[in-house]
Structure 1
Amino acid sequence: MDILKDKVILVTGGTGSFGKKFIKKSLTLGVKKIIVFSRDELKQYEMKQEFKDNRIRFFIGDVRDKERLYRAFDGVDIVIHAAAMKHVDACEYNPFEAIKTNIHGAQNIIEAAIDCGVEKVIALSTDKACSPVNLYGATKLASDKLFVAANAYVGEKQTKFSVVRYGNVVGSRGSVVPFFKKIKDTGVIPITDERMTRFWITLDHGVQFVLENLERMQGGEIFVPKIPSMKVTDLAKAIGPECEIQIIGIRPGEKLHEAMITEDDARHTVEYESYYAILPELSWWSNAIENRGKPLPESFAYTSENNTEWLTIEQLKEFIE
């Protein structure tokens, strides 16, 4: 992973689950400096106690504040954009706030990165951005499209933008795993629908996938890893095998199954051994990059229900432990 050697890295939302894991890994890869950019001073204070490394800088700021981003991006080589409003219910109740952070914030990242001469930007996305049914997914879809189109805005600059999209992260803040663990002692675990399935990825896998795509990105791709699916009922059995499963009904903005590549996306998606790359349909892409991936078959869609790899209850237990 020489891509990080002697580089200055900035991680927005750097005190989050992904940010902390990414920074911990990056410190072993010869980085020159890592800037943690986030708006919560308490989390930054706590992180300072955990990470005793003089290569880390802590920068209080909000992606909504373009001027602050310009100051933070000065001298930065690589930006990992992990900051977002990501809780579905909070976004539904505070839609303007979600738009300001997830969409306007994305535009601010793009403009600051280009003007400050950042080499590469990877934005983290979510399976909820694929055929979105809630505001969080809709804002992340808009963000994805902004980062893809940003490659046409760079002019003579060298900044490249790509997106990484993956599913539920085991044990991250907001994950269902901590919630199930917390309530299992009651003897009842609530499930919205017994048919529900989800994609599943570990934090370590997510971080590794971002690092790999920093190496391979040419600008404009949405990278999607091949990851397993799981049944939510199996997850409940893995965490609380003695618990009763209570079906409470699907919530507003929730899907039975998640998708990461739609049939429409599949027409311009190519497959590799361990991942897919959704390529831009914009005119500037077609002659710029030689594509070595394998085209997908007609009517292909990558959803958690039609996945070829599934986690068993025993495998889920191992992941959770």
Structure 2
Amino acid sequence: MLTNSTILITGGTGSFGNTFVPMTLKKYNPKKVIIFSRDEMKQWEMAKKFQGDKRVRFFIGDVRDKDRLYRALDGVDYVVHAAATKIVPTAEYNPFECVKTNITGAMNLIDACIDKGIKRVVALSTDKASSPINLYGATKLTSDKLFVAGNAYSGEHGTRFSVVRYGNVMGSRGSVIPFFLSIRDKGSLPITDPRMTRFMISLEQGVELVWHAFDDMVGGEIYVKKIPSMKVTDLARVIAPECKQEVVGIRPGEKLHEQMIGAEDAYYTYEYDEHYKILPAINDWYNCKERIKNGKKVTEGFTYASDNNSEWMTDSDLSTWIVANQEKIGTI
């Protein structure tokens, strides 16, 4: 599907974009991949990685600016929406800015994609959008709802919108693995709560989920990858077994466990071999056989959270991953 196509990725200089672009170039050989973002320095740094590759283009712009989106979307076939204000404390202290990017930006992109005849759009979501307790999660839940409803707005234009949702990305900038690695020489690691668990997904798995969504989507689906969990205390022990673990308390807006599917979504959720799919509650789309395909409906009250997960990452699995990825941990 993506072969010989033109793809635009908003917020494309982030961790996801830095993995999505080279993987997609290698697997699908698209005609063009456009990086749309507002940070010129990050674009300059990223451009050096693709110097001489005429398939990769860079476009300065902000999803808050609808006119700029219209210009950037000329001739584009597919869009990945990765742009967002994502840091929980930043969103709490700058709520107006968070809403402008995560909600108004989503509305702008939906309108522009419909008007420009984009074929398919996949928006990235987060575990924090499921039963949100912070502003970032609340804005991403709103964004998810907007992209789902966008399928009704598109009408005869035919643009399809879907969402992928995943949790803690292993080794990405600002995440716990590079943080623990950077301070282990101090002899102590801060643990917010010894009961805390997190989902563990690699950026490569996130990219593959987006590919699957593009291929599978009818419109309005929220895709949730099946991934292992790990206790934060075990993660700290594997990274720095010599360090003392110091309990410092949960930060504002932080959950003990990540949740990607809440009990309220169970009625609309189907299970597949490698993922779950939350179907749209609107317009009876959750009864659509084309969307359900070979899925099996989950049980009433089902939740998918990092503490009730059936799959857990072992110490050996984490150690192997760290060794294999040590050069890029914390750099993307």
What TM-score results when the alignment is normalised by the length of structure 1? 0.97
Which residue identity lines up with residue 17 of structure 1 in the other structure? S
- Structure 1 runs not aligned, ≥5 long: none
Contact map agreement 1:170 1:320 (CA 8 A) in 2: no
In the alignment, what sits opposite 1:27?
A: 25
Give the whole-Å Cα distance in 1 for the aligned partners of 2:149 and 2:284.
10
| 2:298 paired residue number | 296
Amino acid at match of 1:45: W
Aligned to 1:47: 46
Q: What amino acid sits opposite 2:72 in the alignment? A: A
CA contact (8 A) 2:268 2:286 kept: no
Structure 1 position 92, deviation (Å): 0.7
1:203 aligns with 2:236: no
1:104-147 per-residue CA deviation (whole Å, 9 max, x = no partner) reads 11101100000000000000000011001111111110000000
Amino acid at match of 2:75: G
Alpha-carbon displacement from aligned partner over 1:169-202 (angstroms, at most 9, x marks no partner) = 1111221111111111101100100000011100
What amino acid sits opposite 1:49 in the alignment? K
TM-fit CA distance, 1:289: 4.2
For 1:313 and 1:161, the matched residues in 2 are separated by: 38
1:320 to partner: Cα distance: 2.1
1:72-121 deviation line (CA, Å, top 9, x unaligned): 01110000001111001101111111100011111011000000000000
| 1:11 alignment counterpart | 9
Measure, in 1, the Cα distance between the counterparts of 2:70 and 2:257.
39
Question: How far apart are the structure 1 equivalents of 2:112 and 2:175?
Answer: 31
Please tell me the residue identity of whatever aligns with 2:283: S
Post-superposition Cα deviations, 1:213-269, rounded to whole Å, max 9, x if no partner, equal: 110011000000110001001111111110000000111100101111111101110
RMSD: 1.0
- 2:3 maps to a residue whose letter is K
Matches within 5 A, 1:226-245: 226-245=226-245
The one-letter code matched in structure 2 to 1:304 is S
Tell me the CA shift for residue 285 of structure 1. Answer: 2.0
Which residue number in structure 2 is paired with residue 79 of structure 1?
79
Distance 1:96 1:140 in 2: 14
Give the whole-Å Cα distance in 1 for the aligned partners of 2:226 and 2:198: 13
**Cα 1:152–1:284 shift into 2, 3 Å:** farther
SS of alignment partner, residue 125 of structure 1: strand
Distance 1:304 1:26 in 2: 29
- Which residue type is aligned with residue 313 of structure 1? D
Residue 314 of structure 1 is matched in structure 2 by: 316
Q: Tell me, in whole angstroms, the C-alpha distance in 2 between the residues paired with 1:274 and 1:39.
A: 34
CA contact (8 A) 1:102 1:140 kept: yes
Shift of 1:286: 5.0
1:38 is matched with 37
- Number of residue-to-residue matches in the alignment: 319
Alignment of 1:163-202 (within 5 A): 163-202=163-202
Normalising by structure 2, we get a TM-score of 0.94
Q: Distance in 1 between matches of 2:29 and 2:49?
A: 19
Note if contact 1:221-1:280 (Cα within 8 Å) is conserved in structure 2. Answer: yes
**1:150 lines up with 2:156 in the alignment:** no
For residues 92 and 287 of structure 1, the distance between their equivalents in structure 2, rounded to whole angstroms, comes to: 38
Preserved CA contact (<8 Å) 1:199 1:228: yes
Are the equivalent residues in 2 in contact too, given 1:170–1:319 (CA < 8 A)? no
CA deviation after TM superposition for structure 1 residue 303, in Å: 0.7
Gapped regions of structure 2 (runs ≥ 5): 324-332
The alignment status of 1:160 with 2:160, answered yes or no, reads yes
- Aligned partner of 1:4: which letter? L
CA distance in 2, matches of 1:189, 1:289: 50
Residue equivalent to 2:247: 247
Deviation at 1:283, TM superposition (A): 1.2
The residue type equivalent to 2:167 in the other structure is: G
